[in-house]
Amino acid sequence: MSRTVFTICVSLLGLAAQLSAQNSPATAPSDQPQLSAVKIDFIPGEKTVFYDDFSDTAQDEPPAHWKLRDGKTELRTGAGIRQLTAVCPVKLSMSSAPFTFPKNFTTEIEAAFAGPGPDIVFYAWPKNVDGGMTPTWEIGINAGEVYMKGPDGEKIGNIQMKPPLADTPLKIALWVQDGRARGYLNGERFADVNQMFVPAGAKSADHWTVRARCDRAEEGWAGLRNVRVAESAPDFSAAISSTGKYVTHGIHFETDSDRLQPDSAPIIQAVARALDKNPNLKLAIIGYTDSTGNANHNLDLSKRRAEAVRSALVSQFNVDASRLTTSGEGANKPIGNNDTPDGRAQNRRVEFVKQ
């Protein structure tokens, strides 16, 4: 092959590559999880009633939103992680600030352990009670098992597991909806019971008491990274039909990134189903952040996150891109107080608005 012919071939290949790039969907995500294949069915509650990620807990200070009554804690930080830690050997007892447990709610907990001995148990008790009676709800977590109980100590379910590596977080969730109680570990459902109601006349639980025990272990630790309780989310199609708007805190991204986390799948799958059932439905996708950090950076991040949601719907669920628009508001239009962990959690959201 002559040098001239070779040069023409290379040029044609380059032109073909450019045309292919131009004709490829602009919405195709380059590094997103395959959400259409994710089997997670847990949908986080929408309206937050309690939240703590220990972001306003200072070093060498007790946790700001908990009443500490036994033992001591350490705040460990690093690599974007803040963890309230009980170091063995120690017993720990602390109660959250009071809140109202909705009839239908979700509780999400992220915990981590080092060593086989430590455990953490959550007890939902009524006002001024921190023991001496059966809790309304109970969640027990250690490095080898998670269990859950409902009213009168009735078993919801349990799951045993291989102890995770130290610093590997466990994500635990309890979803109570119309008498149905479901338990999740790292997005996988391990328990599902029905006809589980709080007895009539029973005192309503108004806080979580957390007890960590590692006094039986010579070394190791038990750590909490965040706790969230929220009123169960409304159905997407029903909300869009009745109000024209759906606000969700169930679409999650990696820290300071537009990469979606796999546990975002249930919400995005619900949006895709609604769009498939209603071919005339068009949506605006709007991203929001809290006010932490640089305002211009947050604005750009919120735009990219909204676009990531659109990209997933188009490339993974075959939604026509013309039916979706995106924008980002950054920290504008807050719905919570940016001075508190609870408020910041409320402000980090994605909204879908009917067009």
Averaged pLDDT, 210-218: 81
pLDDT at 234: 86
% of the chain at pLDDT higher than 70: 91
Q: 220 and 245 share a domain?
A: no
Calpha distance 55→76 (Å, rounded): 11
pLDDT at 5: 40
Last residue of a domain, one of 196, 231, 266: 231
Residue 162 lies in a domain: yes
Averaged pLDDT, 318-335: 97
Q: 188 and 203 share a domain?
A: yes
Last residue of a domain, one of 193, 213, 231: 231
Residue 31 lies in a domain: no
pLDDT tens digit string along 215-265?
Answer: 776 788 999 999 999 999 888 998 999 999 999 999 999 989 999 999 999
Is the pLDDT score of 319 beyond 60? yes
Q: 105 and 189 share a domain?
A: yes
Neighbours of 311 (CB within 10 A): 23
Q: 87 and 195 share a domain?
A: yes
pLDDT at 217: 66
> For residue 288, what is the domain's CATH number?
3.30.1330.60
Residue whose entry in the numeric block shows the structure tokens 């479901």 = 182
Q: 275 and 138 share a domain?
A: no
> For residue 223, what is the domain's CATH number?
2.60.120.560
pLDDT tens digit string along 59-81?
Answer: 889 999 999 988 889 999 988 88
pLDDT tens digit string along 2-27?
Answer: 444 433 333 333 433 333 333 333 33
Q: 279 and 144 share a domain?
A: no
Q: 273 and 341 share a domain?
A: yes
pLDDT tens digit string along 138-197?
Answer: 999 988 899 999 999 999 999 998 877 777 899 999 999 999 999 999 989 999 999 999
- Dihedral sign, Cα of residue 175, residue 181, residue 182, residue 183: positive
Last residue of a domain, one of 231, 263, 290: 231
Tallying the residues shown for the chain, one arrives at 355
- Measuring CA to CA, which residue among 94, 10, 3, 31 is closest to residue 258? 31
Do residues 181 and 101 lie in contact, with contact meaning Cβ atoms separated by under 8 Å?
A: no
